[in-house]
Structure 1
Amino acid sequence: MKKDIQIPEVSDVYVAAVKVYNEDFKTDEWTAYLINDKDIDLEMALIVSKGFDGKKETSTIRHKLEKLPAKSFAKIEFIQEEILALNNQFQITFFANGKMFEKKYLFKKNSVNKNALRDLPIIPEKGVLAE
């Protein structure tokens, strides 16, 4: 029975970390974004994030986006500088064209830094894409 379940492969959907200036706190901070580079909308996107490394683990945080339009992006959460020393996982589940998709994205520990910045799909800023 389990072998009969087909989970479609996710493409053109990304998680990125971008250093953004926070006007309220007058500082640069890393922020995670969900990017939809597809030509169709994502519906009911569920995002579960956590940081971990051996014995250390953060709280699990859950987010929901009702709809992420085609060729757009949305802020997921602020990432504290101390958490970047851990592996940061974002599990994304969403619906598109009536099918459910799921993928885990991972920022390996210490991989989010200024030296790793590159061009991103859709977002006009440079950032780091999760694997």
Structure 2
Amino acid sequence: MRKDIEVPKVEKVHVAAVREFNKDFRVDEWNTYIINNKNVSIEMILIVAKGYDGTKETSVMRHKLEKLPPHSFAKIEFIQDEVLGLNNEYQVTFFAENKMFEKAFVFKKNSVNEANKKELPIIPKLGILAE
């Protein structure tokens, strides 16, 4: 019966990696953000993050946001440099307009680097969008 469940296509919601200076530790680090570029709020946002490549796998991290207003963004997590050599997947599930949406956003291994940075929607910094 799962085939009978319609899951609408995710549009105007993104996951991005941004290189930022950490004042406390005085280092540049990569952070991931969820971006809501929709004209409506998204709610009950569940994010499951993991890194993998063949036999290597990171711990699974779970994050929850109650609500993300239209045209806004929120930090998900810091990414350690050691896991940038893995595929990093962010499974995002949320509700908008009384419908459930779900999408897996992936940063392919070694794609999060300075050379791949470009303008991002909403966030006034350069970064990388997950596929």
- What is the TM-score of this pair, normalised by structure 2? 0.99
The letter for the 2-side match of 1:118 is K
The letter for the 2-side match of 1:64 is K
Aligned residue number for residue 107 of structure 1: 107
Matched positions, count: 131
CA RMSD of aligned residues (A): 0.6
Work out whether 1:11 is the aligned partner of 2:11: yes
CA distance in 2, matches of 1:18, 1:11: 21
Aligned residue number for residue 117 of structure 2: 117
**Is the partner of 1:115 in helix, strand or coil?**
helix
Work out whether 1:56 is the aligned partner of 2:66: no
CA distance in 1, matches of 2:12, 2:4: 25
Runs of 5+ in structure 2 lacking a partner?
Answer: none
Aligned residue number for residue 35 of structure 2: 35
**Is the partner of 2:84 in helix, strand or coil?**
helix
**Is the partner of 1:85 in helix, strand or coil?**
coil
CA distance in 1, matches of 2:4, 2:79: 38
CA distance in 2, matches of 1:44, 1:3: 23
Shift of 1:3: 2.8
Shift of 1:93: 0.2
The letter for the 2-side match of 1:117 is K
Aligned residue number for residue 88 of structure 2: 88
Q: Determine what percentage of the aligned residue pairs are the same residue.
A: 63
The letter for the 1-side match of 2:77 is E
Runs of 5+ in structure 1 lacking a partner?
Answer: none
CA distance in 2, matches of 1:4, 1:45: 23
Q: Per-residue displacement from partner, 1:49-90 (whole Å, max 9, x unpaired)? A: 000000000000000000001000000000000100000000
The farther-off stretch of 39-48 and 1-10 is 1-10
CA distance in 1, matches of 2:118, 2:46: 26
Aligned residue number for residue 21 of structure 1: 21
The letter for the 1-side match of 2:116 is A
- What is the TM-score of this pair, normalised by structure 1? 0.99
CA distance in 2, matches of 1:84, 1:107: 9
CA distance in 1, matches of 2:71, 2:93: 18
Shift of 1:2: 3.0
Shift of 1:4: 1.9
